[in-house]
Amino acid sequence: MERLVRSTFLSQNAGEIAGEFAHSGVAALTQVDERSEPYHAIVIDISMSGMSDLALLDAIAERQPETPIVVLAAPAELPRVRAAMNRGAFEFLLEPLDLRDLELTLAKALRHYQTVRRAGLVARATNRPELAALGLLVAGVAHDLRNPLGFMTNFTALARELVEELGQQVEAQCQAPLATSLNAQVASVALTLGKVTAHGEWALELVGSLVASGGGGGSGTLDFSESIERHVDLFESSVRAVRADHVPAVVIHKQLDPSIGVVALDPRHVLSVVINLLQNAMDAVRERARSDEDFQPEIHVETRALDGAVELSVSDNGPGIPLALRERIFQPFFTTKHPGEGTGLGLHIVATTARESGGSVVVEDNPPSGVRFRVRFPR
């Protein structure tokens, strides 16, 4: 098996994955003890000689608690696998080893390691272990949401295709004016399903950003203004769908510079910043609308190119933020909203995401009322 992993798996993933091998439990522990940094993942053959599999599992977990441990076993050894999972093993693989299964399991283990590692850094840096626990919880929930969101998006897209086929059959088999009336209804349903699909894909991107957040900054490219316009349009359509009767419609103005073009930024980071700033602005104007019957809520979204950077600006005409609170609004869990209306994490996520992308965020007055947030990203 070692020959197969070395000759095929590691050679195909050279530069991305490096592996070390040990042929006994004692040798494995020696290698663990000699490491200055923890392994990102460890795979244990449940039949490894030298010590019992559970004893080796416990010993490695004690030495490197952040490292996910994967156990490898034959199908007949599933009871021992169950015992290992109950003792804290991260995942298991069955023999004969499937290299694709190995690749997927190691990728999942690496994401887990990065999330746990970052949570530990947060806890040590802030002396607030509840933040670390929250990060693990969010990453776990986000991971579990990906599959049902994916199924929802795929089935909705399929439903839209079926509805469009139905429209073609109506056109071919029905006479006017019945065909015209039915086709109008079919087109309306198809449009709605298209919006559901788009929102599902949007949610998948957000969930992906949460799962990947344990790994620090990401990479990618996007058309800056075009991407922001797409996110704003989706946000606006979702707001219209759930607008309360007593709240006036919010007008979102866009002034987006198309000449900015493509920039090297993680699309998930940009999505996270846009949505959190829009939601913050929406909450602000709705707060003012509660006490001002003649108030017309407005949000402005702008992009512009700067020297060596690009900037996203989101402003509102809400009640504003007092100067005394502006140093605290980016702190986690700080909120001025009514109980049950906010978590105090939105602006913290904006500031953290901007910083991890090499950028910055500032807040300033937006005369005659409200505030403006400016987020700058390096080009």
- What span, in angstroms and rounded, lies between the C-alpha atoms of 47 and 246? 67
Higher-confidence residue: 114 or 259? 259
Q: Considering the chain, what is the average pLDDT of its residues?
A: 82
What is the structure's pLDDT at 313?
Answer: 97
The answer to whether the CB of 59 falls within 8 A of the CB of 29 is yes
Mean pLDDT along residues 190-213: 75
Ranked by mean pLDDT, the top range of 1-15, 220-234, 322-336 is 220-234
Cα 346–Cα 247–Cα 249 angle in degrees, nearest 5 = 85
What is the structure's pLDDT at 6?
Answer: 66
- Which residue's entry shows tokens 């999942």? 108
What is the structure's pLDDT at 332?
Answer: 77
Q: 344's torsion region: left (phi>0), alpha (psi -120 to 50) or beta? A: left
Query: Which of 173-177, 201-205, 238-242, 314-318 has the weakest average pLDDT?
Result: 238-242
Of the candidates 243, 223, 250, the one whose C-alpha atom is nearest the C-alpha of residue 310 is: 223
Q: Name the token pair of 374.
A: 């400016």
What is the structure's pLDDT at 31?
Answer: 93
Check pLDDT > 80 for residue 285.
yes
The answer to whether the CB of 114 falls within 8 A of the CB of 214 is yes
Phi and psi, residue 119, nearest 5°: -60, -40
- What span, in angstroms and rounded, lies between the C-alpha atoms of 352 and 334? 14
Sheet with 42-45: list strands edge to edge. Answer: 42-45, 69-73, 91-94
- The CA R_g of the chain, rounded to the nearest whole Å, is 26
Q: What is the CATH number of domain 216-378?
A: 3.30.565.10
What are the residues whose beta carbons fall under 8 Å from the beta carbon of 266, sequence distance 6 or more?
Answer: 217, 218, 219, 220, 357
Q: Name the token pair of 123.
A: 């806890």
User: Which strand (E) or helix (H) includes residue 199?
Assistant: helix 178-212
Burial class (CB in 10 A: 0-12, 13-18, 19+), 367: exposed
Q: Name the token pair of 102.
A: 């190995």
Quote the DSSP letter at residue 98. P
300-330 per-position pLDDT tens digit? 999 999 999 999 999 999 999 998 888 889 8
We find that the CATH architecture of domain 2-127 is 3-Layer(aba) Sandwich (3.40)
Answer whether 2-127 and 216-378 agree in fold: no
- What span, in angstroms and rounded, lies between the C-alpha atoms of 206 and 204? 5
Residue type, 65: P
- In the chain, where are the structural domains located? 2-127, 132-210, 216-378
- What span, in angstroms and rounded, lies between the C-alpha atoms of 146 and 116? 19
The answer to whether the CB of 49 falls within 8 A of the CB of 25 is yes
Q: Name the token pair of 372.
A: 């403006």
DSSP-based three-state secondary structure for 119: helix
- What span, in angstroms and rounded, lies between the C-alpha atoms of 291 and 272? 30
Higher-confidence residue: 157 or 301? 301
**CA distance between the termini of the chain:** 46
- What span, in angstroms and rounded, lies between the C-alpha atoms of 276 and 348? 9
